[in-house]
Chains A and B, each alone.
Chain A
Amino acid sequence: MSKYLLNKFLFMVDRDPELVERYRSEPRELVAWWEAECANTVLNCHGGEASTWLRFDEVEREALATHDHVKLFELGAHPFLTLTLFIALFERDNTEPLEYQKSYGARLAHFAMPYPDIAT
């Protein structure tokens, strides 16, 4: 299990407008592409110096591929990263202000303190 890699996915997709749109429209394809092409990128280093060992496990891959932010929370992905990206994906469908943000919180209502550990 790699909370770091989940966070790296959320971080890298969130900062790229094109990847945000691809993740909204074709999440499973985008996750597969990102894991193959980007997961081992060392930021600020060229491709010849990529890492060799980073990969999702099946649960993580499926959570990302199905936009399952509740599972991401359970897995200890950083809540700020998940929230920011998912607002970018789905706030546009709101029919009233903060509708998505509130429903996002409501779907997490079964979590009691302490929340899943987010330390990486």
Chain B
Amino acid sequence: MATVVAVIASTHHPFYYRASTATGEDRPPFADEWTSKILAFRETLTRARPDVLVMVGSDHFHQLWLDNMPQFLVGKAPHYDANWYNEEREFGLPRMLLKGQEDLSGHILRAGLDAGFDLAFSNELRIDHSITCPIITLRPEADLPIVPIYTNIFAPPLPQPKRFVQLGAAIREIVESWPSHLRVAVIGTGHLSLELGGPRQFGPHGPDPEFDQRAVEWIANGDLDGCLREVTLDSLHSPGNATHGFMDFMLMMGVAGAGVKADYVDTLDLFHTMEAYFTWYPNGAPAA
């Protein structure tokens, strides 16, 4: 059976690509520290020597729209074009082309449906920065086949937080039941406190540093009980109007397992939002 060699959760910051590639006067003062942290984070994936990446993210009204909105969707295609015109326009993100791992997509769909998750699927999916940002930060060669999984953290009504956790736990089991000898990393991105299009946006820090601190502790300690006790669909409005993206972190806590501490934790306090990076090694940390 396949092996889950790493579980990785992080924020996805669309400004990283431009900040890290800028030079001279265009290079922001925080770029060097940010790049240094990303290189260290990238090494946690490289060391795990993955063959396949399961990528959990959320479409930002690019391909998925209100006339036909899935709650959870699995891509099943041989290739995925990536990034959209408005992401090139606003963030300077490059067009990308990623390979798909259709066999694993099919396995996740079949086993997920059989486990009680009514997963939608897509045979032609153009993916956005929720998945390309971690490709850029963690595997910029973009050379490994992927299975994209989209969640709805964006267009209410949303699934409950516990459903994200349950799906994460199921993804872990399903990947580990895939009849393959390949090494799989499960990577998911979300947000800590975040405000987009509201009065608290683009401040000197994330809109709710206290929430961010508690969230980092929940994730680092695998504290699903504490997290689920405090986090509800209603409560997530308070730290910032886009904080429902935290549920993708909760999904990844489900993949990592309740009570399992992360092997690698790092954060970076930036304007607008706090960055956070976590890696778990289910089979123990690989040699450096």
Q: Whose C-beta in chain B lies nearest to the C-beta of A8? A: B66
Set of chain B residues within 8 Å of A7, measured between Cβ atoms: 66
| B66 cross-chain contacts in A, Cβ below 8 A | 4, 7-8, 11, 120
Using CB atoms, name the residue of chain A closest to B84. Answer: A15
Task: Give the residue among B62, B89, B198 with the most A Cβ atoms within 10 A.
Answer: B198
Quick one: closest A residue to B237, CB to CB? A114
Q: What distance in Å separates the Cβ of A97 from its nearest Cβ neighbour in chain B?
A: 8
Question: Which residue of chain B has the shortest Cβ distance to A106 in the bound complex?
Answer: B199
From A4, A14, A80, give the contact of B197 (CB < 8 A).
A80
A105 to B154, CA, bound (A): 20
Which listed residue (A84, A98, A119) contacts B202, Cβ 8 A? Answer: A98
A81 and B61 CA atoms in complex are apart in Å by: 8
1/0 contact string of B49-75 vs chain A (CB within 8 Å): 000000000001110011100000000
The residues in B between 229 and 272 inclusive whose CB is less than 8 angstroms from any CB of A are 237-238, 241-242, 271
Q: Which residue of B lies closest to A107 (CB)?
A: B199
A119–B155 Cα gap in the complex (Å)? 7
Per the bound structure, the CA–CA distance linking A113 and B121 in Å amounts to 36
CB–CB B90/A111 < 8 A? no
Instruction: Classify the interface of chain B: helix, strand, loop or mixed.
Output: loop
Chain B positions within 8 Å of A79 at CB level: 196-198, 241-242
Which of B65, B85, B90 touches A87 (beta carbons < 8 Å)? Answer: B90
B65-107 interface mask toward A, CB cutoff 8 Å, 1 = contact, 0 = none?
Answer: 1110000000000000000111001100000000000000000
Contacts of A80 in B (CB 8 A): 60-61, 154, 196-197, 242
Known A42-B67, A79-B241, A120-B66; contact A105-B201, beta-carbon cutoff 8 A: yes
B85 → chain A closest CB, angstroms: 6
Q: Are A108 and B199 in contact (CB under 8 A)?
A: yes
A81 to B199 alpha-carbon distance, docked (Å): 15
A101 close to B (CB within 8 Å):
yes
Interchain nearest-CB distance for A106 vs B (Å): 8
Residue of chain A at shortest CB distance from B200: A105
B67 / chain A contacts, CB cutoff of 8 Å: 42-43
| Chain B hits for A84, CB < 8 A | 86, 90
Bits for B157-199, please: 1 = Cβ < 8 Å to A, else 0: 1000000000000000000000000000000000000011111
- A83 (CB) vs chain B CBs: closest residue: B197
**What residues on B are CB-neighbors of A14 within 8 Å?**
86
Report A92-120 residues with CB < 8 Å from chain B CB.
97-98, 101-102, 104-106, 108-111, 113-115, 118-120
Q: Is B61's CB under 8 angstroms from A109's CB?
A: no
B284 within 8 A of A: no
Which chain A residues lie closer than 8 Å to B198 at the CB level? 73, 79, 105, 108, 111, 115
Q: How far is the CA of A7 from the CA of B62 in the complex (A)?
A: 13
Instruction: Give the interface of A toward B (CB within 8 A).
Output: 4, 7-8, 11, 14-15, 17, 42-43, 69, 73, 78-84, 87-88, 91, 97-98, 101-102, 104-106, 108-111, 113-115, 118-120
User: What are 20 A-B residue pairs whose CB atoms fall within 8 Å in the complex?
Assistant: A4-B66, A11-B65, A15-B86, A42-B67, A69-B197, A78-B155, A79-B241, A80-B60, A80-B242, A82-B197, A97-B28, A102-B202, A104-B201, A105-B195, A105-B202, A109-B199, A110-B199, A113-B238, A115-B237, A119-B157
With A73-B198, A80-B60 already in contact, 16 other A-B pairs whose C-beta atoms are closer than 8 Å: A15-B86, A78-B155, A79-B242, A80-B61, A82-B197, A83-B197, A83-B201, A84-B90, A98-B271, A110-B199, A113-B237, A113-B238, A115-B237, A118-B156, A119-B156, A120-B155
Q: Which residues of B contact A (CB under 8 A)?
A: 28, 60-62, 65-67, 84-86, 89-90, 154-157, 195-203, 237-238, 241-242, 271
